[in-house]
Structure 1
Amino acid sequence: MIKRILSFSKNDSRLHDDDLKKALKDNLGIVWVDIIEPTVEELNLLQNTFNFHSLTIEDCLEANQRPKLEEYDDYIFVILVGVRKLPDQDELEPYQLAFYLGKNYIITIREKRGGISLKSVHNKILLKNNRILSHKAGFLSYVIMDSFIDGYLDLLEEVEDDIEEIEEIVVHKPERELLDRTFDLRTNILIIFKAIRPQRHVMRGLSVDEIELISESARTYFTDVYDHVLEANDLCSSYRDRVGGIVDIYLSSASNKMNDTMRLIAVLTAVITIPNLIASFGGINFTEFADKGIEILKQWPFWTFIGTIIFATTMIIIIFRKMKL
């Protein structure tokens, strides 16, 4: 549906009703049509009004397109891919943002809700931000794309906080739940990486290629967006390596914990087995002990036998302590 229709000139800005034809007739010079979850009727209206190529309309209907930049006679068509959090979940999913940029108009088509918020850009126009109003549609497209890519950086900042939290815990408490959380985090990083990586070529094209609809000064600004894309791409690679390191630390800590457990079992087994072996030997060879009853406590062989068990057990404990087991 049509979210907002705004128009502006150098000295004024206006918020229009959702009637596209009326807004185009009464606009102040440059029009921005912002659409979320477009319907077939709305896209057909855009095609008939602006004479857009049918393939671009098809790309808007069928999401999951790769980022791309296409130049036509009197407009350019851009597809970017963002990521958004699923409602009430920590999982991420990609979504599509399409641009039509003409001489006096810009149209943004967001595939889904919950992704980038353009409300701040809307407000800048309505509050007559001189930096936007003094430029043409090409500069407005930069402002929108800059907000879009900055959304990646904000999301990656949250990812870094999660990584730092896990890194502090994993050494001391390598629990299974922590490993599951790490794998979920790695999945999200890969989703971000796959979404941001192809957009380098789009931003480079907007900042380097001599596109008539984008002025030389606007291309300079797109260079800044291109740098942000590279930064996000590098952060994804770095965070992916750090998450891999967390998994290695977890496995190492879990292995050390298992080794400690096995050493404890070995010590207990030795402490129990040796005295038990001696006691079994005594039970086989000194059957007369059982016949003498309480009188056996007065016999020196019995205490020698008990002393041997205590001595053997003590020596085993001393040996293991010296071996630091």
Structure 2
Amino acid sequence: MTDLLQQGIFWLDVLAPTEAEMRILSTVFHIHPLTMEDIETEETREKCELFKNYYFVSFRSHDNGNSNTADVEPINMYNVVMREGILTFHFQPTPHQHNVRRRIQYLKDFITLTPDWINYAIMDDITDYFAPLIQKVEFESDAIDQLVMVLKKSEQHDMLVRIGLCRKLVMALLKMLGSKVDVIKGLIKRFEDKLFVNESPGDVSLYLGDIQDHIITMLQNLNHYENMLSRAHSNYLAQISIEITQLSNTTNDVLNRMTVFATILLPMNVITGLFGMNVHVPGQNVESFAWFSSITGSLLLILMLGVIFAKRIGFF
């Protein structure tokens, strides 16, 4: 890159290096075997390590290509920062290198370009790359918080899925951003103690402090959204519990009414059952409806007394 060459430094970006390429780079730039092992094995732990002629930074990005799911695929990125230049390694294509080169073009007349500044710019672009996901979580959390108490029964299953996916995304982002604060703190401390091989301007520490503040703000927002989602989840479960209780009460009320009706009709069934086909019925030889009317009236009277009694004790 012309601007880098004019500043007397280099930037070598390596995509998916092979074992042979790593051996050559290790020989040429005197990279420690521990650093080579971390890069070749795609070490996932984010860290900052100081060696004799360089310092090594592991800082993870993510694949933001599929923003419709809660799955965030991390991308491991490694920076080897020396006095003369910087080596960057990654195993998947990312937009960060292009974004940093474009930023250098814009700011070349206002900054002192150093390997430390390039390392800061890469880390800053990685941090900013999380902003769309944080904004997505914010919108989804606000929507869930407003809708969880006014759902129709047909929408409750969809809301449970939305809450689960959003909480999954929040936990993934908390996991990826949590360790970045320690890396930034380690860099700032070592710059302040002047432990690095580069004699960088003091404003690099200020730049790193800005990244640290940005990450801490993101973590605080994510914790707030997690609390919102947890409350919405609890409200959702409470609403489901209330509906189940209401349904149970309605079922019990129907069963009680059916029991009362059965209790009222049981004596009449007993009375009518006594007079079967082979039983002498009172008044069967009398050519009059008096006996029939009396029996029917008695049954109706028993029915009315049962209904009145059921109303008195609160079954109706």
TM-score past 0.5 threshold: yes
> Residue in 2 aligned with 1:95?
75
> After alignment, is 296-305 or 194-203 more displaced?
296-305
Q: State how far apart, in whole Å, the 2-side matches of 1:158 and 1:288 are.
A: 76
Indicate which of 188, 193, 209 corresponds to 2:169: 188
Indicate which of 130, 146, 158 corresponds to 2:136: 158
Q: State how far apart, in whole Å, the 2-side matches of 1:289 and 1:315 are.
A: 32
- Unpaired segments ≥5 residues, structure 2: none
Q: 1:36 to 1:160 in 2, by over 3 A?
A: farther
Deviation at 1:262, TM superposition (A): 0.5
Q: 1:161 to 1:39 in 2, by over 3 A?
A: farther
Deviation at 1:59, TM superposition (A): 0.7
- Supply the RMSD in Å over aligned alpha carbons: 3.3
> Residue in 2 aligned with 1:303?
300
| Letter in structure 2 aligned against 1:77 | F
Indicate which of 229, 247, 250 corresponds to 2:233: 247
Q: State how far apart, in whole Å, the 1-side matches of 2:31 and 2:44 are.
A: 18
| Letter in structure 1 aligned against 2:298 | P
Q: State how far apart, in whole Å, the 2-side matches of 1:75 and 1:7 are.
A: 23
Deviation at 1:36, TM superposition (A): 3.2
- Unpaired segments ≥5 residues, structure 1: 1-5, 10-25
Q: State how far apart, in whole Å, the 1-side matches of 2:47 and 2:15 are.
A: 20
Alignment of 1:185-264 (within 5 A): 185-209=166-190, 210=194, 211-213=196-198, 214-264=200-250
Higher Rg of the two aligned structures: 2
Contact 1:138 1:215 in 2 (8 A): no
* Residue 106 (1) aligns with residue 86 (2): yes
* Residue 8 (1) aligns with residue 15 (2): no
Paired residues in the alignment total 296
Q: State how far apart, in whole Å, the 1-side matches of 2:315 and 2:33 are.
A: 80
Deviation at 1:37, TM superposition (A): 2.9
Q: State how far apart, in whole Å, the 2-side matches of 1:64 and 1:313 are.
A: 76
- Normalised TM-score (structure 2): 0.79
Identity %: 19
Deviation at 1:308, TM superposition (A): 4.1
| Letter in structure 2 aligned against 1:189 | V
More relative contact order in 1 or in 2 (CA 8 Å, sep 6+)?
2
Q: State how far apart, in whole Å, the 2-side matches of 1:312 and 1:156 are.
A: 65
Q: State how far apart, in whole Å, the 1-side matches of 2:273 and 2:13 are.
A: 98
Secondary structure of the corresponding residue to residue 226 of structure 2: helix
- Normalised TM-score (structure 1): 0.77
| Letter in structure 2 aligned against 1:145 | M
* Residue 277 (1) aligns with residue 263 (2): yes
